[in-house]
A and B are shown apart, each in its own frame.
Chain A
Amino acid sequence: MDIDLMMRVYPFFLKAAWVTVQLSIYTAILGLACGALGASMRLSRLAVLRFLGAAYVSVFRGTPALIQLFILYFGGPQIGIQLNAFEAGVIGLGVNIGAYMTETIRGSIIAIDKGQREAARTLGLSGWQAMRKVILPQAARLMIRPLGVNINALIKGTALVAAISVVELTYTAQRYIGSTYKPFEMFLLSGVLYMIIIYGTGQAIKWLDRRARIV
């Protein structure tokens, strides 16, 4: 193993890791927004919205994220969508993980005992007031960990955007392999950095979950 080489190139990998982190953060934010929207559609009183929500979930969970990304980045310009690689990566991955988060959020909401809603409605609270003050505060605690699983998946999923040449960890490894012919060292370096990012995120999720626990 060429430790010297690794020591020489690692600053470039750190820079690439920072791109991966940024990509992950923006993607997570977009994914959560899509998930919240998707879940409220799936739980809507209106059949049209329920259908649209279900369609969103099955389309984006039912096709490879890589294909979705390619359609957006390579196919987009054909229908007038011009995005740079980073933007396409965030939007493609965000909308994709949003479909998974839709189901996580919806699952946490319907897991709350229906007696909670009944008790709130019986006191005179409206459906929305019951949701906001009684259901969501409880569901939010339930969804922290499964959303953490989604976020873990999306961080690893950011490796896909190497395929549309965003200069993140995976792409950087590939590029240095091209000039050094040392795939073991280069992929190992990016793998370690992925692990650090994911470990840190996991710890943050755990901390959040502990903090949110009901007495």
Chain B
Amino acid sequence: MTDDQTPFLDIRNAQKSYGDLEVLKDISLQVQRGQIVAIIGPSGSGKSTLLRAINDLDPLTGGEVWLEDMQINKKLPHRQYEKHINQVRQNIGMVFQHFNLFPHLSVRGNVTLAPKMLKGLSDAECDKLAEEQLDKVGMLDRIDYYPSQLSGGQKQRVAIARALAMKPKVMLFDEATSALDPELVEEVNLVMKKLAEEHMTMVIVTHEMGFAEAVCDRVLFMDQGVVVEEGPPSKMFRNPDNERTQNFLKKHLANANR
């Protein structure tokens, strides 16, 4: 966090449309190293699309995404692009709503697949790496289990360990706790908090307002493809300026307390 002037992750004028439907309308977002940004908003607001644009999983139709001094969504001929994007993605961890663990591999296999293939680690190094990362998410005792033998919360913690094993510079969370039973949300939140304490740079799409308020440095409220309002969580959750933000939070709180 030495030079706060140059953003670590820089989204410039992101636009995305499917035919006539504009999903993202000229969105810019700068994230500093070590910062934790939450994106909230109603479904269909474009928050997941924005997140998935960061590693070019959903390529933008306009605008640029930069990580440090490297442009992520470069226009290149297919082969060169593939090479480039595979390199880039090694630096960006992603955690999905539905975990997407590889069911044919053990927990260990899930965590070590990419490091083994892409970084050429030996079996011994892989084992050490898997143990380290699984210990961090409290899943070391399940290292030789298969995904089908785990609960949702455990799966998501393994998925986080799998992403961390590539030693990413940024972690993206796409509604990481939305598919979990309520009593399993906390164990995943705790792992994410731990990452926050280690100053991992994170962009989090979430419906967990309490978590966002407790952990994040900044909150963006998106609706209909634009960032309606952004600010520190204290302001965003306690007294937002924009009426749409107020309405969204009101509805959300009403639902949460029901």
A residues at B contact (CB < 8 Å): 45, 113, 115-116, 118-127, 129, 133-134, 137-138, 141, 214-215
Taking a contact as CB atoms under 8 Å apart, the answer to whether A116 and B100 are in contact is yes
Within 8 A of A (CB), among B47-83: 55, 57, 78, 82
Given A123-B113, A126-B82, A127-B82, verify A214-B166 contact (CB < 8 Å). no
- Asked if A119 contacts B166 (CB within 8 A), the reply is no
Beta-carbon nearest neighbor of A138 in chain B: B104
With A125-B114, A214-B148 as known contacts, state yes or no: A115 contacts B98, CB within 8 Å. Answer: yes
Please name all residues of chain A whose beta carbon is closer than 8 Å to the beta carbon of B162 when the two chains form the complex.
123
Residues on B close to A: CB < 8 A?
55, 57, 78, 82, 86-87, 89-90, 92-94, 96, 98, 100-104, 113-114, 117-118, 146, 148-149, 159, 162-163, 166
Complexed CA–CA distance, A193 and B87 (Å)? 58
| Residues in A whose Cβ lies below 8 Å from that of B159 | 119
Question: Bound state CA distance, A123 and B93, in angstroms?
Answer: 7
Return 17 A-B CB contacts under 8 Å, by A number.
A113-B100, A115-B96, A118-B96, A118-B100, A119-B100, A122-B57, A123-B113, A123-B162, A125-B86, A125-B114, A125-B118, A127-B82, A134-B113, A138-B102, A138-B103, A141-B104, A214-B103
Q: A118-B57, A214-B146 are in contact. Are A123 and B104 (CB under 8 A)?
A: no
Partner of A124 from B78, B103, B114, B148 at Cβ < 8 Å: B114
The residue in chain A whose Cβ has the minimal distance to the Cβ of B172 is A122
Task: State the CA gap A138–B103 with chains docked (Å).
Answer: 8
